């Protein structure tokens, strides 16, 4: 394996970052990659609940800042280094000064600046946690590296400029062999204003880095073992989907599947087809690849959603708009006497949608999940 090939990207999701212990747990798991001879580029989210709290601050709920203070100072204290304690305190004080300037009315530029502190501070804590685990770490600055357009709150990355920045850095990363840590979710415009990439945007940061540096693998770490065939709180028999295509994952995201940011697949489609692994530290159960082999065509995920108060069920997967699959679904519904109020499918989108009567969505979902995923014919 060449040194360049040893690079991968790991995004640590905010749901995993709750206290000092969880930062150390993440660091311990990142160390396993290092021990295997890999050099992961670590992308961190803000700790759990921080982005939501900061959003409320930008909307005038100044008291929510206290929650962010307590959480981050608590973690800094747990990690126990004077240096980090001081750094985090400085950042929080700067954040406080900035939030004092929040006045009535929506200011997207100020909002992004305030939100950015969630990831900025989380990065400092992750670097400290890695060093505490004996892993040499290197802080990168997303505001210098990830260049975006000026759509505040939902910015798109300027791939050309960002690729230049990353490419310039990559040799020094390899030669120092220290684990680089960068904030997810944030970037800056060409003229230096902080932007954010939209909710769940850390995935997009990680996949962009992977695609632009042509990395083989990018790991998105969350608290579940992978993408499931359905929401397990509705369908307890839901299973992990082992392989999906970018198109399928994007389609699931468009229908509001949790934990996937639809923009995340764009750089992978455009520049390089890194394999996206989704899962927990224990198990990366789902692999998302550019093109799935033929035998993996078919339904992957189903969910119920509602649009303008009209419930619908979406089934997502390459080939679900084929006649044979549509017939199968219609037969199941017909046999069980389930009325549908409409069916929608487009040949260029890997999904079918069925509008169902209000109140029947859960039972219909259960029926379809059982017949499509649990009964092998």
Q: Which residues bind ligand ASP (CB under 6 A)?
A: 14, 45-46, 51, 118, 184-185, 199-202
Nearer to ligand ASP, 210 or 356 (CB): 210
Dist CA 218 CA 11 (whole Å): 8
Dist CA 19 CA 79 (whole Å): 9
Nearer to ligand ASP, 20 or 184 (CB): 184
Closest of 311, 307, 293 to residue 354, by C-alpha: 311
**Angle formed by the axes of helices 108-132 and 50-58, to 10°?**
150
Q: Residue with CB nearest ligand ASP?
A: 202
Nearer to ligand ASP, 14 or 285 (CB): 14
Dist CA 104 CA 106 (whole Å): 7
Closest of 108, 88, 99 to residue 54, by C-alpha: 99
**With left for phi above 0 and alpha for psi between -120 and 50, is residue 271 left, alpha or beta?**
alpha
Please count the other Cβ atoms lying within 10 Å of the Cβ belonging to residue 199: 13
Dist CA 164 CA 320 (whole Å): 40
Query: 184 contacts which partner out of ligand ASP, Mg ion, none, CB within 5 to 8 A by kind?
Result: ligand ASP
Q: How would you label 291-314 residue by residue, b for 16+ Cβ within 10 Å and e otherwise?
A: ebeeebbebbbbbbeeeeeebbbb
Q: Residue with CB nearest Mg ion?
A: 14
Dist CA 345 CA 352 (whole Å): 5
Dist CA 8 CA 181 (whole Å): 12
Q: How far is the CB of 16 from ligand ASP (least distance, A)?
A: 10
Residue 311 and residue 305 in contact, taking contact as beta carbons nearer than 8 Å: yes
Q: How far is the CB of 195 from ligand ASP (least distance, A)?
A: 13
Nearer to ligand ASP, 220 or 228 (CB): 220
Q: How far is the CB of 115 from ligand ASP (least distance, A)?
A: 8
Query: 40 contacts which partner out of ligand ASP, Mg ion, none, CB within 5 to 8 A by kind?
Result: none
Nearer to ligand ASP, 262 or 311 (CB): 262
Nearer to ligand ASP, 45 or 364 (CB): 45
Nearer to ligand ASP, 68 or 110 (CB): 68
Q: How far is the CB of 325 from ligand ASP (least distance, A)?
A: 33
Nearer to Mg ion, 45 or 229 (CB): 45
Q: How far is the CB of 9 from Mg ion (least distance, A)?
A: 17
Dist CA 222 CA 12 (whole Å): 7
Nearer to ligand ASP, 14 or 317 (CB): 14
Task: Enter the tokens of residue 247.
Answer: 């198109």
Dist CA 119 CA 132 (whole Å): 20
**Contact partners, residue 103, CB within 8 Å, separation at least 6:** none
Locate all alpha helices (DSSP H) within 3-107, ordered by sequence: 20-35, 50-58, 65-79, 82-100
Q: How far is the CB of 114 from Mg ion (least distance, A)?
A: 15
Q: How far is the CB of 259 from ligand ASP (least distance, A)?
A: 9
Q: How far is the CB of 205 from Mg ion (least distance, A)?
A: 12
Query: 118 contacts which partner out of ligand ASP, Mg ion, none, CB within 5 to 8 A by kind?
Result: ligand ASP
Q: How far is the CB of 207 from Mg ion (least distance, A)?
A: 16
| Residues forming the site for Mg ion (CB under 5 A) | 14, 45, 51
């Amino acid at each position: 394996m060449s040194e360049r090939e040893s690079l991968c990207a790991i995004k640590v999701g905010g749901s995993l970052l709750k206290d000092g212990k969880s930062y150390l747990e993440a660091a311990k798991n990142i160390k396993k990659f290092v021990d295997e001879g890999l050099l992961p580029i670590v992308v961190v989210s803000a700790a759990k609940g921080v982005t939501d709290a900061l959003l409320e601050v930008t909307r005038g709920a100044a008291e929510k800042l206290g929650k962010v203070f307590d959480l981050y100072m608590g973690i800094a204290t747990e990690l126990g280094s004077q240096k980090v304690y001081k750094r985090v305190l400085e950042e929080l004080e700067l954040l406080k000064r900035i939030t004092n300037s929040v006045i009535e009315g929506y200011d997207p530029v100020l909002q992004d600046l305030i939100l950015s502190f969630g990831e900025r501070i989380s990065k400092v804590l992750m670097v400290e946690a890695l060093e505490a685990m004996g892993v040499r770490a290197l802080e990168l600055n997303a505001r210098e590296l990830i260049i975006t357009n000026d759509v505040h709150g939902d910015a798109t990355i300027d791939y050309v400029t960002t690729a230049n920045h990353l490419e310039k850095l990559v040799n020094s990363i390899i030669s120092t062999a220290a684990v680089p840590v960068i904030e997810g979710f944030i970037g800056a415009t060409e003229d230096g204003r902080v932007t954010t990439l939209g909710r769940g945007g850390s995935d997009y940061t990680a996949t962009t880095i992977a695609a632009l540096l042509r990395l083989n693998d990018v790991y998105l770490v969350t608290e579940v073992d992978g993408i499931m065939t359905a929401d397990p709180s509705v369908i307890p028999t839901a299973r992990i989907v082992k392989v999906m295509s970018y198109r399928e994952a994007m389609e699931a995201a468009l229908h509001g599947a949790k934990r996937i940011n639809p923009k995340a697949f764009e750089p992978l489609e455009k520049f390089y087809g890194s394999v996206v692994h989704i899962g927990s530290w224990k198990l990366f159960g789902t692999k998302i690849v550019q093109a799935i082999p033929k035998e993996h065509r078919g339904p992957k995920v189903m969910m119920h959603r509602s649009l303008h108060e009209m419930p619908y069920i979406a089934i997502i997967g390459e080939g679900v708009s084929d006649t044979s699959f549509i017939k199968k679904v219609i037969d199941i519904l017909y046999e069980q006497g389930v009325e549908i109020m409409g069916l929608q499918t487009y040949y260029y989108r890997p999904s079918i949608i069925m509008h169902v009567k209000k109140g029947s969505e859960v039972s219909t979902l259960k029926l379809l999940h059982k017949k499509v995923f649990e009964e092998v014919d």
